[in-house]
Chain A
């Protein structure tokens, strides 16, 4: 089956089969009565599993290769690209500039590492929680190894151990390659995603796409972990104040200079100063012995932002660095000597938000394809390879000329589906004033950012809102926490122009394309539900609490305070507004849209304003009067059971 054929089937599958099949799985309520609200479809493990199977197919076999991560063979003869859309790894002959082989791996592969001899590739299968070991010469899968939840980045120490950043486990798995077993898990930070090893493999660096949870409405903070690969322990945590999402990281060949792409969100002030660069700082963490610490420097320029920096590379001679901007579709060329000089200057702390700073070290910005992700630099520094995820291509940059010298197509369907066009819009920052940010700046990798925001349309300091997840939300209208947007066209349409992007919004066909993409964002596999749908004893006890209609003392619970009444249906929402006692004085109304609970375990913080750090806090702190379900008669272990059940939804 060719790539094009796979795409066609995926489209038909998406539009027709699975959607109908899922909707047909209607399960009656425990009392035999239909649920209150617009959706009568009630939760059932079968429907969830069916949904998961459909969603997996939609992402893993959408027909678009979607290159994400890259790695060069040690001799530079081959480039390996992880194709997250088709679930493959492609081998590219760097001299002939064509694809010479492919191998299927697991679901939604994201990261790749290569052994120093170039013989083996290791690929993270983020939806299968596995690592594919590949014979690089034959492009054949040899073994499938275990990992944590949603393995993403992977690095080899060259001495037989792999380090895997697990996005949903918030840890780093250390894997012994010889035995194929996990030797330990190192405590990382939230959303552990990208890794880099020093040339000698002695140190491994790990970044995270979400901030470290902190006090409500305090500046975000992030870190980079430095792992001592000899001891297999975290040696240092490099603090990154005011940073949230941190993406790829790289280390100079001498191990003395590190760079990591990151976002500095300005979420504590109203989103009213987009014109002044006050939504996101697209930045670079600069750290290591050359700097004597860690600093953050902007990549943005006035009215010409470098949105969503993602991939990073340093030339072997340490003269240049390269950074991809996945939102503005370009690669920046940095003069490293100048960058280091600025980073070491006493005034560097003041430059983190200085939009004139980048002109001192960014010497060129090279347009590439749509949504460039990771980049790989040849050993001699002459050629930079760029994975254009939403163009399904690899850009080849001649670094001497600082221009694209060629493009390798990876076999995408000839025409773009509306969904794919919408995905490009979602990941593009070209829609905003100065190209400063886009949907994906907050909804990182189509998820969320773990932050709460003060959006201007509600008034300054009014209606602080948590950033909600976007998985499988097509049928969960209305939208927004106050439920004011009846459909996604309203949610994503002209209001985004006025209140967010301050330039152009999404209209007409673009808007329909964008909505079709958002509606198709699938539900990630749930790691807490067994494949056969059977619940553990604790989950079963929690389900009974979720479904209960009487208190422990036997008195009836009012219908409005029964968990499963508001959180009913396939998505665990009756799609109505409710006052659950969580409104704040700064909220215009205590009426809150009942959120869907699918994969709720992943999307902390909670409540409409993100004031609950954990699921527990929803009830231990923010439910004193039993308005958000009756929970105050529960013992602690019973509340734990309820949470164990919620984690399976």
Chain B
């Protein structure tokens, strides 16, 4: 009887897992050449992997790591965010000491002293054609790479009342800023106007108006893909399709935690969440969490179906650590920046063992 139950459980788990991505995880640490184990950001450029660490920028290429530091011209050792200009393969590097630009081996740095950058603490960066959008501790900025013009966005010319911008996401029509303590800012490219989205509950930590607006004012990351906005906060996640909001909390979704460092959507629906308690994935109905067990440290893959049933999918590997900072995609694979190393999730496809 007991064997039958176990077999049924495993079969059910496998069935669930078939619909959600499964990975074989490999991790990099200082032991195999990574600059530092604290990896804040990761960026995929074809077969090359960039990792922003607490101790420099690392490039994984042809099976080897190469590290760039302030000696090479990097603005600061702590690399918080990375953005790739896919046309030119220029890498924009947000650091705690300015914005750097890597192009074919040369690093140039922009600071608040030598350029129009508003502040040297740069949390986020993204590329929109010839424009680079930047999130700093003193507001947002837009750098026109054609004219070298800097445009700054702060409390004087946008609706933000805090200027601590934490993340930025841009598409052709809109640009969104995650403003730590001031919700989400939207810039409309066509009208050159700003709009602000706030938590309808105001400063309250209690969610009174669920799905009526942004889940919380302390936003950390935004992702705008296919006209769908995702916002990550330290108190849950929100999705906005231009008309309706939907909020996600750990108590009523598959999020392992409400403390989110990054949200990154693949197509507006399929979305990844980097939290302090594991990496989460949402496909529009089901959730999955990938992590070493919080207590056991044993590899875990938790699946929550649309009905709210949680199952454990047996796995043998997991990301390096449950505290995750961000992800990027390499075809079907995923790379995950964690507080204890960089992990490569190699997609297990149907039929793979």
* Chain A nearest Cβ from B133, distance in angstroms: 15
Listed by A's residue number, 18 A-B pairs whose Cβ atoms lie within 8 Å are A185-B130, A185-B145, A185-B146, A186-B103, A187-B145, A234-B103, A237-B104, A237-B106, A617-B113, A617-B114, A620-B113, A620-B114, A636-B119, A636-B138, A637-B152, A637-B156, A639-B116, A643-B116
Q: What sequence of 0s and 1s flags, for each residue 625-649 of chain A, a beta carbon within 8 Å of any chain B beta carbon?
A: 0000000000111011001100000
B4 interfacial by beta-carbon distance below 8 Å: no
**Is A233 an interface position by the 8 A CB rule?**
yes
Q: DSSP majority for the B interface? A: loop
Distance from B93 Cβ to chain A, minimum over Cβ atoms (Å) = 14
B147 within 8 A of A: yes
Closest to A223 in B: B106
In chain B, what residue has the closest Cβ to A528?
Answer: B147
Within 8 A of B (CB), among A219-235: 223, 225, 233-235
The interface residues of chain A lying within 8 Å CB-to-CB of B113 are 616-617, 620-621
A527 partner residues in chain B, CB cutoff 8 A: 147
A613–B149 contact, CB under 8 A? no
Contact A236 to B104, CB < 8 A, known contacts A614-B115, A621-B113: yes
**Which chain B residues lie closer than 8 Å to A184 at the CB level?**
87-88
Report which A residues bind B (CB closer than 8 A).
Answer: 148, 169, 183-187, 189, 212, 223, 225, 233-237, 527-528, 538, 613-614, 616-617, 620-621, 635-637, 639-640, 643-644
* Bound Cα distance from A234 to B87, whole angstroms: 11
- A636 surroundings in chain B (CB, below 8 A): 112, 116, 118-119, 138, 152
Contact A225 B146 (CB under 8 A): no
Which chain A residues lie closer than 8 Å to B101 at the CB level? 187
Contact of B114 among A234, A538, A613 (CB under 8 A): A613
Docked complex Cα distance between A234 and B106 (Å): 11
**Is B105 within 8 A of A185, CB to CB?**
no
B151 contacts the other chain (Cβ, under 8 Å)? yes
B115 close to A538 (CB less than 8 A): no
**Chain A, residue nearest B118 (CB):** A636
- Contact of A237 with B118 in the complex, beta carbons under 8 Å: no
Q: Which residues of A contact B89 (CB under 8 A)?
A: 233
Q: Which residue among B116, B130, B151 has the maximum number of chain A CB atoms within 10 Å of its CB?
A: B116
Chain A interface, >50% SS class = mixed
B residues in contact with A643, CB < 8 Å: 116
Given contacts A187-B101, A635-B156, 9 further A-B contacts (CB under 8 A): A187-B145, A233-B89, A233-B104, A234-B103, A236-B105, A237-B105, A614-B114, A620-B112, A636-B138
> B88 — which chain A residues lie within 8 A by C-beta?
184-187, 233-234
Instruction: Contacts A185-B130, A643-B116 given; indicate if A225 touches B104 (C-beta within 8 A).
Output: yes
Point out the residues of chain B lying under 8 angstroms from A234, CB to CB: 88, 103-104
Residue B154 interfacial (CB < 8 Å)? yes
Q: CA–CA, A148 to B130, complex, Å? A: 13
Residues of chain B at interface, number, CB under 8 A: 28
Per the bound structure, the CA–CA distance linking A189 and B157 in Å amounts to 34
Tell me whether B90 is interfacial, beta carbon within 8 Å. yes
Chain A residues lying within 8 Å of B147, measured Cβ to Cβ, are 527-528
Closest 7 interchain pairs by CB? Answer: A637-B152, A234-B104, A620-B113, A640-B116, A187-B103, A184-B87, A614-B114
Determine if B68 is an interface residue (Cβ-Cβ < 8 Å): no
Q: Which residues of B contact A169 (CB under 8 A)?
A: 146
Q: How far is the CB of B132 from chain A (nearest CB, A)?
A: 12
B129-177 residues at the A interface, CB under 8 angstroms: 130, 138, 145-147, 149-152, 154, 156-157
Q: Which residue of B lies closest to A235 (CB)?
A: B104
- Cβ–Cβ < 8 Å partners of A538 in chain B: 149, 151
**In the assembly, what is the distance between CA of A638 and CA of B105, in Å?**
34
Q: What chain B residues lie within 8 Å of A621 (beta carbons)?
A: 113
Q: Please, how many angstroms separate the alpha-carbon atoms of A297 and B77 in the complex?
A: 37
Q: Give complex CA distance A187, B90 in Å.
A: 8
Tell me the bound Cα distance from A227 to B103 in angstroms.
Answer: 12
Residues of B near A637 (CB, < 8 A) are 118, 152, 154, 156-157
For residue A617, which residues in chain B have a CB less than 8 angstroms away from its CB? 113-114
Closest-by-CB residue of A relative to B152 is A637
Contacts of A148 in B (CB 8 A): 146
Question: In the complex, what distance in Å separates the CA atom of A234 from the CA atom of B115?
Answer: 24
- Distance of A636 Cα from B139 Cα, bound (Å): 11
Closest to A612 in B: B114
B105 in contact with A616 (CB, 8 Å): no
Instruction: Check A616 against B152 for contact (C-beta < 8 Å).
Output: no
Most buried by B among A233, A613, A616: A616
Q: How far is the CA of A637 from the CA of B116 in the complex (A)?
A: 8
Q: Tell me, rounded to whole Å, the shortest Cβ–Cβ distance linking A166 to chain B.
A: 10
Residues of B within 8 A of A528 (CB): 147
Give the shortest distance, in Å, between B174 (CB) and chain A (any CB).
Answer: 22
Residues of chain B in range 74-110 having any CB-CB distance to chain A below 8 Å:
87-90, 101, 103-106
A19 to chain B, nearest CB (A): 32
A236 to B106 CA separation, bound complex (whole angstroms): 9
B90: which A residues are within 8 A, CB to CB?
187
Q: How far is the CA of A613 from the CA of B88 in the complex (A)?
A: 26
Closest to B114 in A: A614
Return chain B residues, CB-CB under 8 Å to A644. 149
Which residues of chain A are near B149, meaning CB under 8 Å?
538, 644
Task: Tell me the minimal C-beta distance from A276 to chain B in angstroms.
Answer: 33
8 Å CB interface, B249-287 against A = none
Bound Cα distance A639, B152 (Å): 11
Cα–Cα, bound, A186→B106 (Å)? 13
Chain A residues within 8 Å of B145, by CB: 185, 187
Q: In this complex, which of B103, B104, B105, B147 has the most chain A Cβ atoms within 10 angstroms of its Cβ?
A: B104
The docked-state distance in angstroms from the alpha carbon of A639 to that of B138 is 15
Closest to B117 in A: A636
Complex interface: chain A residues within 8 A of B150 (CB): 640
The residue in chain B whose Cβ has the minimal distance to the Cβ of A617 is: B114
Nearest Cβ on chain B to A384's Cβ, whole angstroms? 33
Shortest Cβ distance from B102 into chain A, in angstroms? 10
Q: In the assembly, what is the distance between CA of A148 and CA of B11, in Å? A: 62
Taken together as a complex, chains A and B put the C-alpha atoms of A559 and B106 apart, in Å, by 44
From B114, B138, B154, name the one whose CB has the most chain A CB atoms within 10 angstroms: B114
Q: Smallest CB-CB separation from B147: which chain A residue?
A: A528
Q: Which residues of A contact B116 (CB under 8 A)?
A: 616, 636, 639-640, 643
Question: How many angstroms between the C-alpha atoms of A643 and B114 in the bound complex?
Answer: 12
Whether the Cβ atoms of B152 and A640 lie closer than 8 Å is: yes
Q: How far is the CB of A450 from chain B (nearest CB, A)?
A: 15
A residues less than 8 Å from B87 (CB atoms): 183-184
Q: How far is the CA of A223 from the CA of B156 in the complex (A)?
A: 42
- Please name the residue on chain A nearest to B151 by beta carbon: A538
Complex CA–CA separation, A169 to B146 (angstroms): 7
Q: Which residues of A contact B112 (CB under 8 A)?
A: 620, 636
A527 and B148 CA atoms in complex are apart in Å by 12
**How far is A613 from B114 in the complex, measured between Cα atoms in Å?**
7
Cα separation A236 to B118 with both chains bound (whole Å): 31
Q: Which residues from A are CB-within-8-Å of B105?
A: 236-237
Closest Cβ of chain A to B186, distance in Å, is: 20
**A614 cross-chain contacts in B, Cβ below 8 A:** 114-115
**A616 near B114 (CB under 8 angstroms)?**
yes
User: How distant is the Cα of A146 from the Cα of B235 in the complex, in angstroms?
Assistant: 50
Q: Bound complex: CA of A225 vs CA of B104, how far in Å?
A: 9
Q: Determine which residue in A187, A212, A538, A620 has the highest number of CB atoms from chain B within 10 A of its CB, and name it.
A: A187
CA gap between A234 and B154 in the complex, in Å = 35
CB neighbours (8 Å) of A212 from chain B are 106
Partner of B115, one of A183, A187, A233, A616: A616
